[in-house]
Structure 1
Amino acid sequence: MRHEVISCPLDDWFDAYGTFQLTEGELAACAAALEGGAWTGEGPQTWERAGPSLLRNGKFNKFAAPPSERRESENDVFEPLKEIAERLGSVDLGEASDSTEIGLDGVCAVGRAADLPTSGNVSRAGDGMGRRLSSVRWMYDSKPNSAIPGEQSGSTNRVDGYFYCVHQRAKLSLGDVAVICEYKKNGEGAIQNRKQLVGAAAHLFNEDPIRFSIYGITIEDCDVSLWYFCRSHTAKSFPFNFLTDPMSLVKVFVSFMFAPPVSLGFDSNIRRIMPSPRDGRPFISYVYRLPMEDSNGEERVHYYRTRRSISDSHRLCITGRARRVWEVEQVKSFDDLHRVDDKVVVLREVWLDESAPTERQIQQSIFTSLNRFGDKLKDPTYSPPHFSCFDDDLKKEVRALFEEDNSLPPFGPRSNVRRKAYERYFLTIREDFVGQATRDVANNFEPSPLLLRETKSLKTSKFPTVYGADPTRNTQSSAAVHPDRSPIPTPPYDYQVARRYRPKRPDRLIYEENCLDLDDNRIASLKDVFTGLRGCFTASLLLFCAGWVHRDISCGNVLIWTDSDGRKQGKLGDLEYAKPFPSEGGSPDPKTGTAYFMPVEIAKGRHMVPRSATATTTTRSKRPHYAEALTAAQGEVEESKLEEMRTRSENPPKRAVGPVLHDFTHEAECLWWLSLWSVTARLGIWETVRTVFTPFIDTTATQAREMFLMYDNSNFPDLAEELPESLQPVYGCLRVSRRYLQLRFLELAQLDEKARADPAKHSRAFMSIRNLVNVQIPSETPPLVNGSNPFWTILESQGRLKGIELESTTAKRPHPAS
């Protein structure tokens, strides 16, 4: 988080993130109201008494001395801010302005939203600020240590003050809180003050799907700083002294109090629907509006109402992709919640760089590449390099994927074109919509990683604090991963890319298939898990043929879909990380990946190197299970090929270490980790893998995973004793594939980038993983269980993991170009 924070001069902060620009007449009206006057509207110099003076001789009366020099409590010291805000709220900016603009209305606390086009929400530095309202919409309240409501159990947060919607109901709601504030009497608590504000902002982002940005204020003694939080970056202004410069504080308060909701970060394309007995919904739901153009260029709007949350885990970091997945139904409008049809679909939201392609565009590019590859396969004599190590059966299976599949229904603009069989291994995108982007980074900014030395963990409570909260939003994946602040060594080579703080925008997609991921507690058996793995393998094989890498194969992206006839089909989802291989450059933004399944070389940032000539050849298996999943002939072929590779790899030549590109063999490694996780963690077998499947990535965790994969003096052979007899064939294939990966990574490290890009160099990896995922799972396999690594849970409860944030992902460093 600290690497996403920038600071900038106050004027530049207002230019980039301000809600609207106050005129001189409006500022004069505000100053007059604080001095005890009020605008009557009868003439340019006509005033009346509004109450006791709060501002005299250019200073606030009740802040004659700095807070650090006063004996009162912190709460009493800053209590006058509430009176100042109330006086400013009495100002009629419509009368005080020479040219009043009608403001854009937006989303309010409990669901009132304006039907505004997305373009009306966008406010960019350099393009002018947004419009204001003529009357106050938000009022400041000082309630020290007051709790901000939450809809998810396990999360709440407290702030010293906030700006709330004046139209709120009796009880404060999530949508009522627009701006959050934290105070300290002196500067000694500045770091804690900032961390508390960041924690509160993260809480609001986690709890409220309507937010696309959040504003904040911190005061330390006399110094006031303004904050802007979004998925791209966090911006803090240089402080100003509100005792000597009171009008800057007036400008801040008025810019928040008279701002339309969209200017304060409420998305007008989402509305919160509170529980209603007439509606029959016991929980809070949300309606998403997806405007788009049809094939004739005419705008049309679809509305989707959430039924339950599929993925909405807590995130400790504000920036990033912040994925949310909902089960939804199409309704008629924000105000008419009657269903359009009985179809239940899936809505997925993810924040992408403004210039990044959407998932739909990526999928279309992949399909285009696959169609070109399929056209070449029509020539029976054509043998692509991808097939160099494939057996005849796999070649035949791949060719069949490019045939027309009459069982796939026509869909969308391609309704007159018959679909190819390969499409069944990917999700069907019904429609998508790209929302408004976050603000551009301010001019004259400077990175400020030391403003936050660590990220405050969210305080927890046992139950949601909002009535009617949807309990499905509390579901946490056992392998859920969120951005991590644990340090990671800087790679030994220079591939670091300067942070560009690109604006981000939400990409919202509607999927036809309502699937279960591998970690869903509704999956019935390990047999179903391997159905998903086989589908993921086929999709990865297709990406290999298309020349693309997925780069985020994990239990949350491997999906199981059940059709209307009850047949189960594995699919691979979440293509937003996918890129052609090789490709130039990589995004310097933090990635949201899954630590459990990340390739070791990617986590390390460098290629594998052997520890010694015998490090990869020593074995200590207690039981010989090598050939249990193979015939004698197959085992002989495997061992002879591996022995040949072992001989060549015992003393690999040294070479310069360069950037690690996520390649096709890394995709195979992800599937290996997934298969291992499926037969251990998914069955509650943790002893052997307790140091492998840790919910974070740091140096120690990465070394443990490298040891487990690459060296036989690890405890991998102990897995044979832990697994039940029915899964010994899986262990045998895990062992064979592991041996191949051990030696192959050492060979690939000796090649230059051009040679590593040759598909033929990765063909054998897919053959090895194919044997693994195709193992038949017997019916007597133990049942699936749910839960995180108990070893780390015990350490956390004992306080032995201080400084390490569980369920987190890679440290904040650029992702390797791939």
Structure 2
Amino acid sequence: MPDILEGPEDSWLQRYTSNRIGKEEEDQIIMALKDQGLVLDHEDTLRWRDFPDKPSVLRKQKKPMKTSTADESAVTDIVGRSKTEREIFQPLGTVINAITSVPLLNLFPSCEYDEGPCCECDKYEEPPYEYDAESHHTNSEVSDGPQRRIHGFLRLIKSTSPPTPQSSRAATSDIAVNFEFRWGDTSGDIRMNRLKVLHSALHNLHSDCQRKHTYSMTIEDNHVALWYFSRSHSAKSYEFDLLDVRAVVSALSALIFSTVEDLGYDTNIRRIIEWDQETRQDQIRYVYRLDDRFFKTVKCRNEYDGLYIAGRATRVWEVVEVASFNNTALLPNTQRMILRDVWLEQGSDTEREIQDKIFQRCDELGRKFPPENDRRLHDVDDATRTLLHQRLKDGSYKELFLTIKADYRGATSKPRAEGFTPAPNIFFECVYSNQEAKRHGSDAVSTSSTAAVPSRLKVEVPREYKPKQRNFVVYEEVCSALHELDDIYDVVQALLDAVLALQILFLISWIHRDVSSGNILFFRGRGKLSDLEYAKEFDLSAGRRSSDPKTATPIFTAVELQFNAAIYKDADFSEDMQDNETGESPPSLTVRHNFQHDLESIFWILAWLVFTHIPGQNCANVTAELFHNKRPGFLLIRLNVLTHHYVCAEWLQTLRPDLPPVLAKGLLTMRNILYQRYLNRGRSIGDMSTYSPIYDKFRNVLSVIAASVPRGRVRLVRPAPSKVGGKFGHLLHTDNLRKEMEEPEDNMLAPHKAVSLKRVRGVSDADEADD
């Protein structure tokens, strides 16, 4: 579910549109609508000609029904019929297009209304709700993706994209604002419209890479609301009256006369269509501009799940460098590279900036390597010290990380509008809340029922809703993630290098904070540690945990971080941790991300791959308990595995009996190392000597596995080809939205990190990888 804020409509218009329509322009538009007879003066009050009353009242006005006789002449049914929603709200399109024709000084409309073709005979229904027969198709623009059905929309007058191949339907890329109408305002009407605009927003942002944000407008009877959806937050205006001519004109005009960029289109990305020789069909591609360099997408490698709106929304593409937007011919000697498109918190360091800081510190350490008695080298053998010194001295440590060839800070999302506050139950409200009370700051409580709201949808941690900024990064190496590998030997080799990379970070006092199967990559027989956006220097004086924390991949996250409670306790800790799972965490239990937490992620990654990616095993119960983070008791089960030798051993007995015993023994040994170190360290989390031995111990375990399990001995399930390279370039991963909201553990697969899991649902999931 997205984070929805709610506030006054005037603040919404000021913040989330170009805000170029003032009182003078409004008066000009209203005068033009009067001249066309669309607006009437009635007792010093402006009235709509075609909305003399609320839609619920207009619906009851019978419309004569024409029937055919034997001689094919039309006669009128005496009973007649009620007006349809299409007929009731059709005049709104006339008003909108009349507004677009009003000449305003230095202002030009960017979009116009389109209600699409009539679909009254179309029986197509799409989950999660039954779309009425009057809604209209828009083209999905994603491989095998569903068509969207909406009541109407504002379409760009000048398209930013070429037409969708072989389609006469409205292209998603040209739809700037979705409209959803209901003649009634019952709880069902309200919830239906809100879910539909949410689904449309998910679709628009996911299916078109040009989008920074998207808009919707809902009308239930005479209640109008404006919606803004972005990567940092989403915002809904308070409802205003459809019969309030000036309010409606103000809202519509603000959208119509917004610039194309302010309507959510990123000028650094252009959508093109090219003939693909391999698939023998037209394919949508994107050209990314990074300053004066241009990169054309060839293949989508990984992307986020379409269930999320706010977050990093990471897409990973194979790209080639081209001359420009208008000349997409390949540059001479260009090679395929990887482009990562991700939304980061505005003002935060990019991955390249963080990598530069890390490399600078590593180079300094290489010139002045610490002596043997340094606490960072406590209990580290001579061979490892020599290896670390040599890597840092000759710069070969850089081979453990990706090579960044270009990066670019792009578009930013809009800041939160003034007066907007969280509305966590907005998709479950049954009646309209007291808008006047909210406008005047009253403490009045909504009369809506929230008893059925799942606890996981409640806001438990305050957020700052900081704007996000788009970041493009181009890497030289085209790698594979761990979960894409088909041999356990390659996985272990990659993990060996990842542990070495983490140890080098430890030597310069940095922690990664997001170690996952998608951030450890395999390239030409070696491992690389990637995704450094959340890497930070370990500093106990930096203060408490952020109030707007990043969300890592839960199934790879250290247990202490998930509980926000230390495993070491002066007394019994189990009761404290059990209470903490309910969200009640005393301040004294706050845990800081430390070096061992990154290493614990290595343990969970290997366990996940061994339990879930080796075929022919009877491990369904284990994977359901250990790797479905929304399952009841998930944290307590993982705590028991980490803190009790016999529990871990019992789980490992479910592995295939013919597997090399070193796999189970190695995992059990890693568990023992982690648990004993947590206990031995106690509360001395700043003592570097308590971490230094773990890296050698982990590498020794992995080296024994690599020596005992040669390539080809234990094969992994080869992921099915990701359905991202088809006709339109990438796939929409949204199923039934209602099911996704109620059972997110089966649908929120890790975006760019666990795309291979999309081949089989219900086996395991690495969900919620992105903030």
TM-score range, shorter-chain basis?
0.7 to 0.9
TM-aligned CA distance change 1:88 to 1:553, over 3 Å: same
Task: Identify the residue that residue 746 of structure 2 maps to in structure 1.
Answer: 806
Is 1:729–2:649 an aligned residue pair?
no
- Equivalent-residue separation in structure 1 for 2:458 and 2:694 (angstroms): 30
Is 1:76–2:87 an aligned residue pair?
yes
Amino acid across the alignment from 1:703:
L
Task: Identify the residue that residue 220 of structure 2 maps to in structure 1.
Answer: 220
SS at match of 1:757: coil
TM-aligned CA distance change 1:727 to 1:138, over 3 Å: farther
Is 1:182–2:172 an aligned residue pair?
no
1:576-595 aligned at under 5 Å gives the runs 576-582=533-539, 583-589=542-548, 591-595=550-554
Select 1:395's aligned residue among 381, 385, 391. 385
Whether the aligned pair in 2 keeps the contact of 1:596 and 1:692 (CA below 8 Å) is: no
SS at match of 1:449: coil
Q: Could you tell me how far 1:678 is from its partner in structure 2?
A: 2.6
TM-aligned CA distance change 1:534 to 1:10, over 3 Å: same
User: Normalization by structure 2: what TM-score?
Assistant: 0.77
Is 1:599–2:558 an aligned residue pair?
yes
Amino acid across the alignment from 1:667:
D
1:99-178 aligned at under 5 Å gives the runs 100=106, 132=107, 134-135=108-109, 137-141=111-115, 144-150=134-140, 151-153=142-144, 156-167=147-158, 170-178=168-176
Is 1:705–2:638 an aligned residue pair?
yes
Is 1:337–2:328 an aligned residue pair?
yes
TM-aligned CA distance change 1:387 to 1:514, over 3 Å: same
Give CA-to-partner distance per residue, 1:26-81, whole Å, 9 cap, x none. Answer: 323322332234xxxxxxxxxxxxxx545443111221121233323333322221
TM-aligned CA distance change 1:84 to 1:691, over 3 Å: same
SS at match of 2:339: strand
Task: Identify the residue that residue 757 of structure 1 maps to in structure 2.
Answer: 686
Whether the aligned pair in 2 keeps the contact of 1:517 and 1:557 (CA below 8 Å) is: yes
Give CA-to-partner distance per residue, 1:468-511, whole Å, 9 cap, x none. Answer: xxxxxxxxxxxxxxxxx9745999xxxx8742211110111111
- Equivalent-residue separation in structure 2 for 1:156 and 1:773 (angstroms): 48
- Equivalent-residue separation in structure 2 for 1:805 and 1:309 (angstroms): 24
- Equivalent-residue separation in structure 2 for 1:557 and 1:487 (angstroms): 31
RMSD (Å) for aligned C-alpha atoms: 3.1
Amino acid across the alignment from 1:701:
F
Give CA-to-partner distance per residue, 1:122-164, whole Å, 9 cap, x none. Answer: xxxxxxxxxx4x2453334267432333214455543222111
Task: Identify the residue that residue 248 of structure 1 maps to in structure 2.
Answer: 247
Q: Could you tell me how far 1:806 is from its partner in structure 2?
A: 2.1
- Equivalent-residue separation in structure 2 for 1:805 and 1:147 (angstroms): 30
- Equivalent-residue separation in structure 1 for 2:548 and 2:215 (angstroms): 22
Seq. identity, %: 28
Task: Identify the residue that residue 423 of structure 2 maps to in structure 1.
Answer: 448
Whether the aligned pair in 1 keeps the contact of 2:96 and 2:112 (CA below 8 Å) is: no
Q: Could you tell me how far 1:228 is from its partner in structure 2?
A: 1.4
Whether the aligned pair in 2 keeps the contact of 1:486 and 1:805 (CA below 8 Å) is: no
Select 1:784's aligned residue among 686, 693, 716. 716
Task: Identify the residue that residue 49 of structure 1 maps to in structure 2.
Answer: none
Q: Could you tell me how far 1:725 is from its partner in structure 2?
A: 4.1
Q: Could you tell me how far 1:230 is from its partner in structure 2?
A: 0.9
Select 1:681's aligned residue among 612, 626, 648. 612
- Equivalent-residue separation in structure 1 for 2:658 and 2:393 (angstroms): 40
- Equivalent-residue separation in structure 2 for 1:701 and 1:687 (angstroms): 15
- Equivalent-residue separation in structure 2 for 1:65 and 1:737 (angstroms): 71
- Equivalent-residue separation in structure 2 for 1:487 and 1:239 (angstroms): 27
Which range moves more in the overlay, 215-224 or 160-169?
A: 160-169
- Structure 2, unaligned runs of 5 or more: 61-82, 119-133, 430-452, 575-585, 721-735, 751-767
Whether the aligned pair in 1 keeps the contact of 2:17 and 2:263 (CA below 8 Å) is: no
- Equivalent-residue separation in structure 2 for 1:182 and 1:548 (angstroms): 49
Task: Identify the residue that residue 499 of structure 1 maps to in structure 2.
Answer: 463
Select 2:315's aligned residue among 324, 340, 355. 324
Amino acid across the alignment from 1:147:
H
Q: How many residues align?
A: 640
Q: Could you tell me how far 1:274 is from its partner in structure 2?
A: 1.6
Amino acid across the alignment from 2:361:
S
- Equivalent-residue separation in structure 2 for 1:764 and 1:277 (angstroms): 53
Whether the aligned pair in 2 keeps the contact of 1:548 and 1:578 (CA below 8 Å) is: yes
SS at match of 1:441: coil
Q: Could you tell me how far 1:167 is from its partner in structure 2?
A: 4.5
- Equivalent-residue separation in structure 1 for 2:28 and 2:328 (angstroms): 44
Whether the aligned pair in 2 keeps the contact of 1:697 and 1:808 (CA below 8 Å) is: no
Task: Identify the residue that residue 702 of structure 2 maps to in structure 1.
Answer: 773
Amino acid across the alignment from 2:268:
N
Is 1:436–2:369 an aligned residue pair?
no
TM-aligned CA distance change 1:429 to 1:338, over 3 Å: same
Select 1:554's aligned residue among 487, 504, 516. 516
Select 2:479's aligned residue among 515, 520, 533. 515
Give CA-to-partner distance per residue, 1:212-239, whole Å, 9 cap, x none. Answer: 0111111122121111111111111122
Task: Identify the residue that residue 474 of structure 1 maps to in structure 2.
Answer: none
- Equivalent-residue separation in structure 2 for 1:74 and 1:664 (angstroms): 60
User: Normalization by structure 1: what TM-score?
Assistant: 0.73
TM-aligned CA distance change 1:135 to 1:197, over 3 Å: closer
Whether the aligned pair in 2 keeps the contact of 1:215 and 1:229 (CA below 8 Å) is: yes
Amino acid across the alignment from 2:54:
P
Q: Could you tell me how far 1:352 is from its partner in structure 2?
A: 0.9
1:189-208 aligned at under 5 Å gives the runs 189-208=189-208
Is 1:691–2:624 an aligned residue pair?
yes
- Equivalent-residue separation in structure 1 for 2:303 and 2:457 (angstroms): 30
Amino acid across the alignment from 1:182:
E
Q: Could you tell me how far 1:428 is from its partner in structure 2?
A: 0.9
Q: Could you tell me how far 1:703 is from its partner in structure 2?
A: 2.1
- Equivalent-residue separation in structure 2 for 1:362 and 1:784 (angstroms): 34
Task: Identify the residue that residue 65 of structure 1 maps to in structure 2.
Answer: 53
